[in-house]
Chains A and B, each alone.
Chain A
Amino acid sequence: MIPRHLLIGVAALLVLVVAMGIYLRHMRQQARQLESPAADALPVVPPASGPTETVTLYVADDAAGLLRARPAQIPLPGGRQQRAEEILRGLLRIYQQPGAAHPLAAAADIRSIYLVDPGAAVIDLNAAFADQHRSGILSEQLTVNSLVETLAVNVPGIQRVNILVEGKTRDTLAGHADLSDSFDVTAVEQAGNQ
């Protein structure tokens, strides 16, 4: 005959084990939820698949105040939109290297590119791209011109480019370059030739 007090003690321990298990599961779920935004804040570039191709990047040089055309080997996926995104990410990687002639923040990224209309493209930048961009007419305009010219020369048919930040229109990139209107590719190219 098991003493009554032992039965009560074992039952209490079993209840405690089950309760601890439920609590542990709850804490793990909370930890997962806290970790996910931190991961989102970092630029996650999915590995591009596809054959490596030679593209032309228009790379800004702050000291010279101009863009330089530079060939680059980039693995490009099949879709037109995905190709455009990979090309601009390739451009960003140059600006994010130590000692870049036109440095951009390490967290700067292209969220997406939409080829919405015949001749029109929309570049959607992440918040870090704009928020951490250096302020100044030259610096901001070189960034804009670099994105627009690189996109236009590698994706035929683009005549106008709009730039959004986190999917929304924004007045300026960092206080100067006006993002409220679309950029005329021909005008940007002519400005680059001045």
Chain B
Amino acid sequence: MRSTLNQKVLAILLASATFLSAAPSAEDQRISVYSPVAVYDLPVLERSGHQYVGLLELLEPLGRVSSQTDGRLWRLHYNNVSAEFAAGKTRARIAGRDFDFVAPFLIENSRGLVPLGSLNGFLPRFLGATVNFRESARRLLVGDVAIQISFQLAAGNPPRLAVNFSAPVNPTISTEPGKLRMVFKRDPVVSPGSQSISFDNRIITHASYFENNGDAELEVAANQSVMLMASFSSDRRSIMVSAASAATTPTTVGPLRPTQGQASSASGSANGHRILAIVDPAHGGDEPGGALGDKLAEKDVTLGFARLLRHELETRGFAVTLTREADTGSTLDQRAAAANVAHAGIYISLHAASQGGGARVYTALLPVEGPTNGVFHPWNTAQAPALPVSRIVAAAIVAEMQKKEFTVHASSASLRPLNNVLMPAVAVELAPGPDGIADLTSANYQQRAAAAIADALVSVRDRLASQP
């Protein structure tokens, strides 16, 4: 009797597990946002048959934003625009005027959720810019950021197809016989006008454009017997697709190292590998870091800054991983372990402070002659072997920030987890500029700092690539 009951329970559990694993996860869905100041992804939530996104998280990288929950009311301030939303209601008041959502506004854990279907309607009131939300693909283009695609086929033997872009791009490229696929995760490319374009060529036959779940995808098709290869122009505005015999082993052309049937990515280093940069927005979750103002926590500034830095690094050919994508906390040991396990080429910790001005760049403060046990290093001095390169990176960042008119100096600090990471590691503390604390949330100010850091990493890319 007992055995039968156990079997029934087991069967129910197995059935539930099967059902849950087979069901599509709404949490896997995301919206990609492209704006002149930041490119980022946000999770999409499914509620009562509608798709929602957190409004605070959506606006956070684009300007100064704060929210306040008062019972069923949720108030938001974005730059100079105020808005009031009511949980469960479709009507909201934004910038002094009513707006009707396509589905009720929701409040979950003090987060205000807005339906995706209304983004085109109300976002311009906050942003004061044109907004193009492509709902089926969940791609949101803010302002004039769209990258146009055009094609130019040079019929020869073998034929070559130049895919031209109106701005530099950094797609992931993979190839297999008869097909070359480019996936644009960070670039706001838009349809070339038609979903499919045919070429008057018997080898390279046509190109197809798709958008799905925040990404854009361009597929160049050829005869099944042909292997397509791709190479970037130096300004990354063109990708030359050329045909080779299928018998040829797939090889990298220019900066690419495609592997058959497996996504590969554009290179950013001399030896053909992309250098992985771990960008760590310090603090997060229950640990807010320093209080930079009445309502401004260090953890919020570092997250926005990290997103900008990711974009700047990716456009320069680095692969980038953020240690946190939202207001979540993790221990210093976890952050160091994540960087060490990923075998990153560089670790950058981002901080912000209200004291002083400009920026400070730190490397680890370690004993002058750290103890070593052969190839093993104590956790607290794991940084020791990489410290000379870390100091080179810090000096390069100082030089690039000075070019961009930042007051900046380099120093050493007993700042974890710098001590615990094996690869070159620096911390950048952003301090106010000429406009005071407001600079810390200024997209322009952060953008200049992020561009300087990214330029600095480009200047020392060979040193990073040569790390063991």
Q: How far is it, in angstroms, between the C-alpha of A65 and the C-alpha of B431 when the chains are bound? A: 12
B347 is an interface residue with CB less than 8 A from chain A: no
A134 near B415: Cβ-Cβ < 8 Å: no
B429 → chain A closest CB, angstroms: 5
A13 → chain B closest CB, angstroms: 62
A188 is an interface residue with CB less than 8 A from chain B: yes
Q: By the criterion of a CB under 8 Å from any partner CB, how many residues of chain A are at the interface?
A: 28
Digitize B259-284: 1 where CB-to-A-CB distance is under 8 Å, 0 elsewhere. Answer: 00000000000000000000000010
Contacts of B354 in A (CB 8 A): 136
B343 is an interface residue with CB less than 8 A from chain A: no
A163 → chain B closest CB, angstroms: 10
Among A27-35, A111-119, A179-187, which stretch is in contact with chain B?
A: A179-187
User: Which residues 146-194 of A have a CB within 8 angstroms of B?
Assistant: 172, 174-181, 183-184, 186-188, 190-191, 194
User: Which residues 83-142 of B have a CB within 8 angstroms of A?
Assistant: none
Q: How far is it, in angstroms, between the C-alpha of A179 and the C-alpha of B355 when the chains are bound? A: 21
Chain A residue, CB-CB nearest to B417: A178
Contacts of B290 in A (CB 8 A): 134-136, 174-175
B411 near A65: Cβ-Cβ < 8 Å: yes
Using A137-B360, A175-B283 as known contacts, say yes or no to A194 and B368 having CB atoms under 8 A apart.
Answer: no
B351 near A137: Cβ-Cβ < 8 Å: yes
B412 near A136: Cβ-Cβ < 8 Å: no
Q: How far is it, in angstroms, between the C-alpha of A180 and the C-alpha of B367 when the chains are bound? A: 14
Residue in B287, B409, B411 whose CB lies within 8 Å of A141: B411
B365 near A138: Cβ-Cβ < 8 Å: no
Residue in B289, B367, B429 whose CB lies within 8 Å of A184: B367
A184 near B283: Cβ-Cβ < 8 Å: no
Chain A residue, CB-CB nearest to B362: A137
User: Which residues 61-105 of A have a CB within 8 angstroms of B?
Assistant: 62-63, 65
A33 → chain B closest CB, angstroms: 36
B302 → chain A closest CB, angstroms: 12
Residue in A65, A135, A188 whose CB lies within 8 Å of B289: A135
B interface residue count range (under 10 / 10 to 19 / 20 to 34 / 35 or more): 20 to 34
Q: How far is it, in angstroms, between the C-alpha of A139 and the C-alpha of B356 when the chains are bound? A: 9
B410 is an interface residue with CB less than 8 A from chain A: yes
B312 is an interface residue with CB less than 8 A from chain A: no
B417 → chain A closest CB, angstroms: 9
Residue in A141, A172, A187, A194 whose CB lies within 8 Å of B367: A187
B419 near A191: Cβ-Cβ < 8 Å: no
Contacts of A181 in B (CB 8 A): 380, 414, 419
Digitize B326-368: 1 where CB-to-A-CB distance is under 8 Å, 0 elsewhere. Answer: 0000000000000000000000000101111000101001111
B298 is an interface residue with CB less than 8 A from chain A: yes
Contacts of B362 in A (CB 8 A): 137, 141
B419 near A178: Cβ-Cβ < 8 Å: yes
B296 is an interface residue with CB less than 8 A from chain A: no
A144 is an interface residue with CB less than 8 A from chain B: yes
Give residues in A with beta carbon < 8 Å to B.
Answer: 62-63, 65, 134-139, 141, 144, 172, 174-181, 183-184, 186-188, 190-191, 194
Q: A134-B290, A138-B356 are in contact. List 18 more A-B contacts (CB 8 A).
A: A63-B356, A136-B290, A137-B413, A138-B431, A141-B365, A141-B414, A144-B414, A180-B380, A180-B416, A181-B414, A183-B414, A184-B367, A184-B368, A187-B366, A187-B412, A191-B413, A194-B410, A194-B411
9 contacts between A and B (CB under 8 A): A62-B355, A65-B360, A135-B353, A137-B413, A139-B353, A175-B287, A178-B415, A183-B365, A188-B365
